[in-house]
């Protein structure tokens, strides 16, 4: 059992919130530009530095790499569009108070004979310096983006762009072996030899990558717009209800079926419209699907996860000190949200201590969800009371929060829904509940009802006026309140406590005690 003792007003291994540290707050707004083979994108990160919040995000489809295999040069029209985009991005950054932008370019610019000339033109026109990444450096940054969302992740990161595809292994929070290839769909589109020649080329290249990378039978993390488009099509094929790409999981079998679904599709334009994929992206999807099918067949991963975090998030990770990298992105983001939006910032920690006796025997992976829920329990108080429960659920399940599987999003959403409502039936989200097994649905309900009651006591930060005693084998719930807390235990509070006891199927007892003795949080 982990010792989460509350020393010096802290939260044990999670430590004091890092956004209180001025040196960390300096990271709170970072602007990066990714000049890719297919698109040029500006992202400005803001908020909790450990968990990226997208203050601004704009993408221009330029197709810089189109025709590169034949001409050896950047696409002239794409070059003009890219330069225009960078001029715009420079002005946008100035308006946001950013003194500088970090700009990187990948395969198209590094491979083109006129790439250096383009870099000089951008510097002359905009004052922006472009850092041209080699393939292995691109792989490293993409893998770091995955680590930003999953600090303990291990497996193989596969990042596909327009003109290249990179692989990198990650383990113990570090990036290991890396390789690059020219398996980007823009390059494949220009390959000679027709379908059979292309498939043989893909098979041979992936086999060579397998020789360099060795056995990689763990998780495969997919990074890149073409992979995200394929995941959207997989969701569409399955009727999957939660349209959040980050941490969406696929099995090798599902990938094979979706690739066949794409190949057999007679109307790709209709499929594109149904899935919300741009025409320029959809033109590359069938080629990318052939690559993914071969990668999965060759490396045989245990499972497959989509990562919305890639090279841009890896650049943010690059600027973080190690002490910040080691933090839990979910908890740091929730702390920042509480500090910004809650009526009583800091009360989440007190509420966590109060409800914890009900959850002492659950695994650490779910205990962190209890912490997150307590931090977020009051951040939507401005919403209309009739819709507050649904707003809570919607925010939790669809928010840009790192370190959350889809089932964990539902757990957090249900806990926050029950913070404001006894019932979850009859909402527009019912089709999502089945992404979480019934036993955990009940656990999330108990958490929500415990928070709902605890908020009625409205205890001051670090001042505890009550405690729960929970005896699960005997199904007995005991509430102990100090005398100065008893006036807070009115009719509504009592009704909420009885609702909690009912969810626990427990016999309820309320007692008075002089003081609450703070014990170690476990």
How confident is the model over 222-250, as pLDDT tens digits?
999 999 999 999 999 999 999 999 999 99
Decide the pairing of beta strands 249-250 and 303-306.
antiparallel
- Residue 408: enclosing H or E segment and its boundaries? helix 406-420
| Phi-psi sector, 495: left (phi>0), alpha (psi -120 to 50), beta | alpha
Task: Name all domains of the chain by residue range, CATH numbers in brackets.
Answer: 25-132 (3.30.420.40), 136-310 (3.30.420.150), 328-463 (1.10.3210.10)
Report the percent of the chain where pLDDT is more than 70: 91
Q: Is 331 exposed, middle or buried (0-12, 13-18, 19+ CB in 10 A)?
A: buried
Q: pLDDT tens digits, residue range 444-495?
A: 999 999 999 999 887 666 667 789 999 999 999 999 998 888 888 899 999 9
Q: pLDDT tens digits, residue range 469-481?
A: 999 999 999 999 9
pLDDT band at residue 1, thresholds of 50, 70 and 90?
Answer: very low
What confidence score (pLDDT) does residue 351 get? 93
Token digits of residue 457: 């006591």
Whether 17 shows a pLDDT value over 60: the answer reads no
Q: What SS3 state is found at 40? A: strand
| Average predicted confidence (pLDDT) for the chain | 89
Q: How far is it, in rounded angstroms, from Cα 284 to Cα 221?
A: 20
pLDDT band at residue 499, thresholds of 50, 70 and 90?
Answer: very high
Q: pLDDT tens digits, residue range 186-208?
A: 999 988 889 999 999 999 999 99
What confidence score (pLDDT) does residue 472 get? 94
CA distance readout (Å), 261 to 197, 221, 235, 254, 293 = 22, 22, 12, 10, 12
Question: Is residue 45 within 8 Å of 54, Cβ to Cβ?
Answer: yes
């Amino acid at each position: 059992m982990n010792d989460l003792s509350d020393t010096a007003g802290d939260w044990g291994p999670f430590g004091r919130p890092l956004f209180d540290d001025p040196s960390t707050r300096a990271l709170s707004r970072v602007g990066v530009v990714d000049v890719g083979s297919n698109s040029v994108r500006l992202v400005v990160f803001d908020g909790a530095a450990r968990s990226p919040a997208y203050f601004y995000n704009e993408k221009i489809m330029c197709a810089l790499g189109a025709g590169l295999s034949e001409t050896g040069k950047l696409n002239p029209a794409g070059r003009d569009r890219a330069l225009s985009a960078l001029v715009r991005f420079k002005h946008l950054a100035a308006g946001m108070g950013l003194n500088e932008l970090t700009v990187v370019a990948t395969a198209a610019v590094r491979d083109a004979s006129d790439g250096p000339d383009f870099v000089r033109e951008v510097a002359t026109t905009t004052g922006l310096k472009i850092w041209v990444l080699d393939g292995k450096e691109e792989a490293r940054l993409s893998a770091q983006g995955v680590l930003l969302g999953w600090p303990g992740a291990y497996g193989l990161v596969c990042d596909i762009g327009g003109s290249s595809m990179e692989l990198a292994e990650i383990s113990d929070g570090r990036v290991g072996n890396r390789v690059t290839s020219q398996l980007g769909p823009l390059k494949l589109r220009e390959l000679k030899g027709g379908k059979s020649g292309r498939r043989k080329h893909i098979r041979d290249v992936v086999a060579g990558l397998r020789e360099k990378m060795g056995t990689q039978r763990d998780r495969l993390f997919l990074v890149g717009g073409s992979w995200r488009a394929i995941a959207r099509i997989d969701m569409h094929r399955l009727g999957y209800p939660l349209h959040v790409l980050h941490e969406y999981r696929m099995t090798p079998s599902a990938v094979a079926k979706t690739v066949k679904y794409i190949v057999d599709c007679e109307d790709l334009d209709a499929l594109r419209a149904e899935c919300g994929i741009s025409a320029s992206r959809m033109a590359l999807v069938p080629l990318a699907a052939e690559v993914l099918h071969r990668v999965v067949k060759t490396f045989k991963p245990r499972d497959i996860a989509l990562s919305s975090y890639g090279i841009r998030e890896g650049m943010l990770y690059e600027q973080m000190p190690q002490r910040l990298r080691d933090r839990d992105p979910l908890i740091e983001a929730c702390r920042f949200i509480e500090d910004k939006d809650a009526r009583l910032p800091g009360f989440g920690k007190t509420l966590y201590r109060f409800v914890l006796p009900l959850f002492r025997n659950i695994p650490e992976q779910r205990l962190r969800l209890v912490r997150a829920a307590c931090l977020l329990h009051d951040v939507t108080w401005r919403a209309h009371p009739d819709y507050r429960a649904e707003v809570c659920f919607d925010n939790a399940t669809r928010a840009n929060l790192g370190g959350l599987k889809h089932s964990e999003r539902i757990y957090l959403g249900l806990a926050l829904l029950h913070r404001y409502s006894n019932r979850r039936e009859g909402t527009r989200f019912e089709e999502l509940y089945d992404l979480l097994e019934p036993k955990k649905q009940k656990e999330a309900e108990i958490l929500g009802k415990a928070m709902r009651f605890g908020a009625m006591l409205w205890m001051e930060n670090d001042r505890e006026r009550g405690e729960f005693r929970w005896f699960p084998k005997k199904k007995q719930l005991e509430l102990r309140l100090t005398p100065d807390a008893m006036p807070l235990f009115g009719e509504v509070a009592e009704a909420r406590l009885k609702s909690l006891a009912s969810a626990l199927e427990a016999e309820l007892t309320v007692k008075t005690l002089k003081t609450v003795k703070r014990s170690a949080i476990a």
